[in-house]
Amino acid sequence: MLFNGKTVLITGGTGSLGKVLVQRILGGKLGAPEKVIVFSRDEAKQHAMRLSYLHKKVSTDEAIYRNFSKVLEFRIGDVRDYAAVCSAVKNADIVVNAAALKQVPSCEYFPAEALLTNCMGACNIVRAIGENGYPVGSVVAISTDKACKPVNVMGMTKSLQERIFVAANILQAKTRYIGVRYGNVLASRGSVIPLFHEQIRSGGPITITAPGMTRFLLSLNRAVDTVFAAIKSALPGEIYVPDAPSATVINLAKALIGKRKVKIREIGTRPGEKMHEVMVSEEEANHCVKRGEFYAIKSMLPELTGARKEANAFGGEFSSAHRILDYPRTVELLKRHRLMIGDKAGWDDGELLR
């Protein structure tokens, strides 16, 4: 079992992805963990998350609540702080690095801050394990499609994070450093769907950047599935990518509006935005292979390539412009994940897809 008897550290564990990771790991379907450590710098989010477990608002096994202090641990700390990282990492078997500055405009205005969290945070994890000889088995970098052919600071720093972890395999062969890369997560904090919901509830207008802009879409559970698949099967230096559909911004807006009389206003692209995102670049396609329901981008470093021969999964780049859902299928996707206004499942921050 993947997590049986393991201590799992999740940096940025109070974020949208972190919450679902914790929920599913504690659920026990992949083995009962020794402990899950949530490491983040926001005490308010940690307090709210702690209460959600104590008040039984998350559907995990009853035993989790009786052993709450033993199984789930909260640590205040910042990945920028080397000492705090050392303290959190030293007893971990698996580290999932979900700590990040991920808002594109914020990173454009404060690139040094993005560098400190997204890159130096990764460096601190690698340094902590290497310099102290901590027996960490696997480290997973949580990345983004914006790291592929990056045009904005967020993507650039995430791309560097990927390379920092991939290269760590060379000097720290006892620890396996791997990554996952995916696109927009439906209903995650800061994503477009909660914004559209608020605009609709306020009577509009819905503001879109450009009608033809496309984005990959996947649920939080699918994102977590990608993390689990990478932990289970990824070779050192590999980055796992889900096979995700994409949709246009205009179809997303129209699907959420439905029959309501809400106007759509085009405001133009924001600084650092692409019209179409790319999950696997044309250059990466030369060493990207199919692994079950996922794709694995193999490392470019010859020491990590290995002798295993596998057919390339793509003849060119994997772009959000290539597999666009039409309007009916966009509506179906949103309904399937209960993201239409009036659905019980939460689009709201903190109410996660089940």
> How many residues in total does the chain contain?
354
Q: Tell me, what's the pLDDT at 65?
A: 46
Please check whether residue 342 lies inside any domain of the structure: no
Q: Tell me, what's the pLDDT at 346?
A: 38
Please check whether residue 156 lies inside any domain of the structure: yes
Kindly report the backbone phi and psi dihedral angles of residue 88, in degrees, each rounded to the nearest multiple of 5, phi listed first: -80, -35
pLDDT at 347 over 70: no
Tokens standing for residue 223: 């994102």
Please check whether residue 133 lies inside any domain of the structure: yes
Q: Tell me, what's the pLDDT at 281?
A: 95
CATH number at residue 255: 3.40.50.720
Give per-residue pLDDT as tens, 206-249. Answer: 999 899 999 998 989 999 999 999 999 999 999 999 999 999 99
Residue 79 CA to residue 123 CA, distance in Å, equals 9
Q: Tell me, what's the pLDDT at 164?
A: 98
Please check whether residue 2 lies inside any domain of the structure: no
pLDDT at 148 over 90: yes
187 compared with 34, residue with greater pLDDT: 34
Report the mean per-residue pLDDT for the chain: 89
107 compared with 309, residue with greater pLDDT: 107
Give the total number of structural domains in the chain: 1
pLDDT at 300 over 80: yes
Strands (DSSP E) found in the chain: 7-11, 35-40, 72-76, 94-97, 138-144, 176-182, 184-185, 206-208, 214-218, 239-242, 246-248, 264-266, 278-280, 288-291, 294-297, 318-319
Q: Tell me, what's the pLDDT at 336?
A: 86
pLDDT at 63 over 80: no
pLDDT at 133 over 50: yes
Q: Could you confirm whether 146 is annotated as catalytic?
A: yes
Q: Tell me, what's the pLDDT at 194?
A: 83
Q: Is 346 buried (19+), middle (13-18) or exposed (0-12) by CB count in 10 A?
A: middle
Please check whether residue 348 lies inside any domain of the structure: no
pTM for this model (two decimals)? 0.89
Helices (H), 30-136: 43-54, 62-66, 68-71, 82-89, 104-109, 111-114, 121-132
Question: What range does the domain containing 263 cover?
Answer: 7-336
Q: Strand 184-185's sheet: what is its strand order? A: 184-185, 214-218, 246-248
pLDDT at 352 over 50: no
pLDDT band at 90 (very low <50, low <70, confident <90, very high): very high
Give per-residue pLDDT as tens, 263-278. Answer: 999 988 877 788 999 9
Instruction: Classify residue 160 as left (phi > 0), alpha (psi -120 to 50) or beta.
Output: alpha
pLDDT band at 257 (very low <50, low <70, confident <90, very high): very high
Mean pLDDT of 107-126: 97
Please check whether residue 345 lies inside any domain of the structure: no
The percent of residues in the chain predicted with pLDDT above 70, rounded, is: 90
177 contacts 184 by C-beta, under 8 angstroms: no
Give per-residue pLDDT as tens, 313-344. Answer: 898 999 999 889 999 999 998 888 877 765 54
Q: Tell me, what's the pLDDT at 187?
A: 67
Residue 260 CA to residue 258 CA, distance in Å, equals 6
Residue 51 CA to residue 72 CA, distance in Å, equals 12
pLDDT band at 310 (very low <50, low <70, confident <90, very high): confident
Tokens standing for residue 72: 């789930």
Please check whether residue 265 lies inside any domain of the structure: yes
Tell me the three state secondary structure of residue 233: helix
Please check whether residue 344 lies inside any domain of the structure: no
Tell me the three state secondary structure of residue 40: strand
Mean pLDDT of 125-137: 97
The alpha carbon of residue 8 and the mean position of all alpha carbons in its chain are separated, in whole angstroms, by 16
CA distances from 207 to 88, 111, 199, 217 (A): 42, 26, 8, 19
Catalytic one among 19, 102, 146, 158?
146
pLDDT band at 12 (very low <50, low <70, confident <90, very high): very high
Please tell me what DSSP assigns to residue 210. -
Q: Tell me, what's the pLDDT at 342?
A: 58
Residue 40 CA to residue 187 CA, distance in Å, equals 21
* DSSP β-bridge partners for residue 179: 141, 239
64 contacts 71 by C-beta, under 8 angstroms: yes
Q: Tell me, what's the pLDDT at 351?
A: 32
